[in-house]
Amino acid sequence: MKFPVFICITMSLFPIFLYGNMDAVVDTSAKDVLYKTENMYGGGIHRIGMHLAFRTVKSITYLKKRTYSLEFVGMHHPKEHPLESFRHGRSYEYGKLNAVMINRAGIGRQKSLANKAALKNISINFNYHIGPNMAILKPVYLRIFLTDKNGVDILDEENNPIVNDMKYDANEHDHFNIKGKASSLLGMNELKFTPGLYSKIGLNFDFASYFDRVLAIEVGMTADIFLKGLPIMALNPKSNFMLSYYITVFVGKKYY
């Protein structure tokens, strides 16, 4: 636990130091320093999943801005891999106990390193965010062949194996009696919530052809830490810390 906490604190404090010591290449007479608000929407991938994001940026000075963000992140375990059913059903992730979605709400700062006038239609911004997160866990349901105490399939009146949708149990279900993945809607009434904190740093490259538009690619790193470990995969330690890199594509509009 001590090392993840150290990483989160470092990622939260280091950008604040870096933020105030970066030199900027900005033409202060250019039109793109005059906008007061930016709203942008985006989506992308990270090391172990995909995400959607919304961000509002408010100008403090022509170089520095305050940011507010919301993110919805699908998170997988590094050892999670699709597996074809041994008995010709749908593919599934063997050993997966819970599907995980992480919601983040953050506040941060952004600093312009170069604006479009200085770099011929490309702006570069450094940003960091910190704030609360919430992991939402939904149990995984699989299609399971029913068997008797000897492990023999139980048959229906037409001599077909009986299959039930059941919550995955690593102690009872193995590759030989799993037909495949059940409906993703199963388990929605069994959601569990685990709060935590996150921090994030990134570099944003805006290529939009018009000053009042946003078309940007952002790359960076995120650290999530939770109050309790998340049970994602059977026979693996519960994860209460996740460090990942990401790439996001943003589109949006700027306002005076």
pLDDT in tens, 38-61: 999 999 998 888 999 999 999 988
Span 84-101, average pLDDT: 83
CA distance 157 to 160: 7
pLDDT bucket at 8, cuts 50 / 70 / 90: low
Return the pLDDT at 223: 93
Give yes or no for residue 117 having a pLDDT over 70.
no
Tokens of 52: 């959607």
Buried b (16+ CB within 10 A) or exposed e, 86-122: ebebeebbbbbbbbbbbebebebbbbbbbbbbbeeee
Element (H, E) at 194: strand 192-206
- pLDDT tens profile 141-170: 999 888 887 778 888 888 888 889 999 988
**What does pTM read for this prediction?**
0.83
pLDDT bucket at 97, cuts 50 / 70 / 90: very high
Tokens of 134: 């919430």
Return the pLDDT at 12: 55
Could you give the C-alpha distances from 33 to 105, 202, 206, in angstroms and in order?
A: 26, 20, 13
Span 191-199, average pLDDT: 96
Give yes or no for residue 131 having a pLDDT over 70.
yes
Return the pLDDT at 118: 65
Return the pLDDT at 2: 56
Nearest to 208 by CA among 216, 219, 200: 216
Residue matched to tokens 């900027």: 24
